[in-house]
């Protein structure tokens, strides 16, 4: 057993005994042994880093973590993003309380569509991010105003994870009816009912930790979410504890049928925080639960980055038929939102516009009533 793995397993044992400060120190030693400091950049810095999610299981103050998590204490920390600017529409702050707890949220309400039943996109931020930051970086509000969407941004509470990561790797937060999935689903239903949203066009998307939680929601609540957008994330249930979280982030998760909603995946092939193999696993987990499909591939260049675009449709389906899944693999891109705005954190302004492509994909996939 390697020294690195021994330290990770020791951290798991200490966490289970409630010795969180000692567990954090063990993780720091392990990471310091694995990799030295590397400057973080807006285009490649991890979205709060899923490593931090695996480090901070409870309520301790943020530790100093080497790259692969939040920037080291010695590295400059990006300033908070300015609130996103959107001509028209309102960005309203509120909160929701359910059986699993309370979370704040922000809701973008487009104007000029009064009397219409509009779609809703639930956007789950990455670690260290906030609804304002995530909205600014993805430009989702501006697109929603132009196309007529509501956008819901649940906010992870620091009391639940010190780095505001969604707890995708905790077994109690991976299943329907409890934990964070139940809380986010309850919040989504509340907003859907109170704002007259089209219940057949409710979608979920996320980045990093948020993407991993979006995959869980798509698997556990296909009766609520018609499709999902997974950016730099992992398949549902990919990890069960700290040690397995490190393992799947580095090497990729094994896929199992999920019977989830259709998915669109974005992943950079140079992502050093979450291996691109995890994007493959997300696609495989969905296709394994669906009828056999036909695959088509294309390639292109967008704002200086090459990409490969793969689409799966039902066998013998027409070219314009809705896809079963889509995969966008961006050459040279790291752990950041493709085509995002530098006004938000953890974005890559180059490459295809993930926000625009996700909205296009969502509109093609209203909820299947058989679910």
Q: How far is the C-alpha of 91 from the C-alpha of 259, rounded, in Å? A: 34
> What span, in angstroms and rounded, lies between the C-alpha atoms of 104 and 265?
27
> Quick count: other Cβ atoms within 10 Å of Cβ 186?
18
Note whether 301 and 333 are within 8 A (CB). Answer: no
Active site residue 272: no
Taking CB atoms within 8 Å and a gap of at least 24, the contacts of 80-83 are: 80/130, 80/132, 80/133, 81/130, 81/132, 81/133, 81/136, 81/137, 81/343, 81/344, 81/345, 82/132, 82/136, 82/343, 83/132, 83/135, 83/136
Find the catalytic residue in 100, 208, 285, 355.
208
Q: Three-state DSSP class for 301? A: strand
Query: Could you give the count of Cα atoms lying within 13 Å of 315 in the half-sphere of its Cβ?
Result: 5
Neighbours of 99 (CB within 10 A): 9
Looking at the annotation, which residues are catalytic?
A: 208
């Amino acid at each position: 057993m390697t020294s690195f793995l021994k330290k990770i397993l020791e951290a798991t044992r200490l966490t289970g005994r409630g010795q969180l400060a000692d567990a954090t120190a063990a993780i720091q030693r392990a990471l310091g042994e694995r990799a030295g400091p590397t400057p973080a950049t807006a285009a490649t810095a991890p979205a709060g880093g899923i490593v931090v999610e695996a480090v901070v299981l409870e309520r301790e103050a943020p530790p100093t973590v080497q790259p692969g998590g939040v920037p080291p204490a010695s590295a400059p920390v990006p300033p908070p993003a300015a609130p996103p600017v959107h001509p028209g529409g309102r960005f309203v702050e509120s909160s929701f309380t359910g059986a699993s707890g309370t979370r704040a949220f922000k809701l973008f309400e487009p104007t000029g569509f009064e009397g219409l039943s509009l779609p809703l996109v639930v956007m789950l931020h990455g670690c260290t991010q906030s609804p304002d930051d995530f909205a600014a970086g993805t430009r989702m509000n501006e697109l929603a105003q132009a196309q007529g969407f509501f956008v819901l941004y649940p906010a992870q509470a620091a009391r639940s994870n010190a780095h505001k990561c969604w707890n995708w790797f905790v077994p109690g937060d991976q299943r329907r009816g409890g934990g964070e999935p139940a809380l986010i689903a309850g919040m989504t239903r509340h907003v859907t009912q109170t704002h007259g949203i089209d219940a057949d066009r409710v979608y979920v998307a996320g980045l990093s930790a948020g993407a991993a939680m979006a995959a869980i929601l798509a698997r556990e609540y296909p009766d609520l979410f018609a499709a999902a957008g997974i950016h730099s994330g992992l398949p549902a249930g990919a990890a069960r504890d700290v040690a397995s979280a490190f393992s799947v982030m580095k090497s990729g998760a094994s896929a199992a049928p999920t019977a989830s909603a259709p998915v669109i995946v974005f992943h950079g092939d140079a992502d050093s925080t979450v291996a691109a193999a995890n994007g493959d696993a997300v696609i495989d987990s969905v296709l394994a639960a669906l009828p056999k499909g036909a695959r088509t591939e294309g390639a292109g260049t967008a704002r200086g980055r090459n990409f490969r675009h793969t689409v799966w449709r039902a066998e013998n389906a027409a070219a314009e038929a809705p896809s079963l899944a889509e995969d966008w693999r961006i050459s040279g891109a790291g752990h950041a939102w493709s085509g995002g705005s530098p006004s938000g954190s953890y974005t890559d302004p180059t490459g295809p516009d993930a926000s625009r492509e996700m909205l296009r994909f969502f509109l093609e996939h209203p909820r299947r009533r058989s679910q």
